[in-house]
Chain A
Amino acid sequence: MTYTGQCLCGGVTLAISGEPIGARQCWCRQCQQIAAGGPTHNAMFKSEDVEIAGKLASGTWTASSGNTLTFHFCPSCGNQIYAQSSARRHLKTVRLGVLDQPHGLRPEIVIWTDDAPDWAMIDPLLESWPQQPPAPTPTPAA
């Protein structure tokens, strides 16, 4: 297994069998609400590579693109586990906080900086986008 993880209370566990196609930090207002004030950190994996055990709850919001974003969380502790866009069902966007450390993943791109509060600390060396960037493209198979 490439990555493993769990939520804070242990009710949900993850086993991931591949590498992500990318990892991002998102400052959209919705992410700040679910992430206790900071941005979410997300690694995008192929859906079929992500196995999740345990009970999940979910909610949705409509992204500015018009796509429906479904977010899945543990109903026992509220931890966000992953999200999925209606436009990209082949990807699961896993929240970095639930992966067992050390996992070596780190944000490569920062998105939705327009929504960040004045006190946000954003790495100036990372590629950043004021809103939604173009859809990710899968890395060609080695």
Chain B
Amino acid sequence: MSEPHTGHCLCGQVSYTIAAEPVGARTCWCRDCQYIASGSATVNVLFPEDAVAFSGRLGRLRSTADSGNTVERGFCPDCGSQIFSRTAEPAGQPIRIRAGTLDNREIMPPSAIIWAASAPSWAVFDPALPCHAQGPNSELMEHKQ
């Protein structure tokens, strides 16, 4: 499937179109993501930020992530669905669209696992994927046997 890609929250109040192909996809097990994802990792598909157009009202929560970056998470205030995460500081990074809101969740399967050191003991990792202890440039971890 080619662009534009589309997606929406559970209740439909927020929707978006993306006029670009993804530049990456990964699962994130940082503690903040486990809050956001009801105990799972978030699954994120990365796009150039200026290619994404949202419609509807968005809630936004800005905080300092485990990485030390200032991160803004966007969600639907009517249903709580998490829509995106973007790095406010430092600028220029791709926006992370939460895969659960994409109409086509198969656009790009995850190609890396990040913040694996924070994952619960029962988390299941794809043994074919690189597994980073912390952020995407951090050291690789051995997969659990």
Contact = CB atoms under 8 A, between A and B. Distances in A.
A123 interface: yes
B89 interface: no
A9 B63 CA distance: 9
B40 A39 contact: yes
B47 interface: no
A98 B126 CA distance: 25
Contacts of B137: none
Interface of B: 9-11, 27, 31-44, 59, 61, 63, 73, 75-82, 98-102, 105-106, 109-110, 120-122, 124-126
Secondary structure at chain A's binding surface: helix, strand, loop or mixed? loop
A86 interface: no
Interface stretch (A44-52, A73-81, A128-136): A73-81
A34 B34 CA distance: 12
Contacts of A79: 35-36, 80
Contacts of B79: 34, 59, 71, 73
Interface in A20-34: 25, 30-34
- A interface residue count range (under 10 / 10 to 19 / 20 to 34 / 35 or more): 35 or more
B87 to A, nearest CB: 16
Contacts of A119: 106, 109-110, 126
B35 A40 contact: no
Nearest to B96: A36
A121 B126 contact: yes
A92 interface: no
For B9, B40, B75, B82, which residue has the most chain A Cβ atoms within 10 angstroms? B40
B80 A78 contact: yes
A117 interface: yes
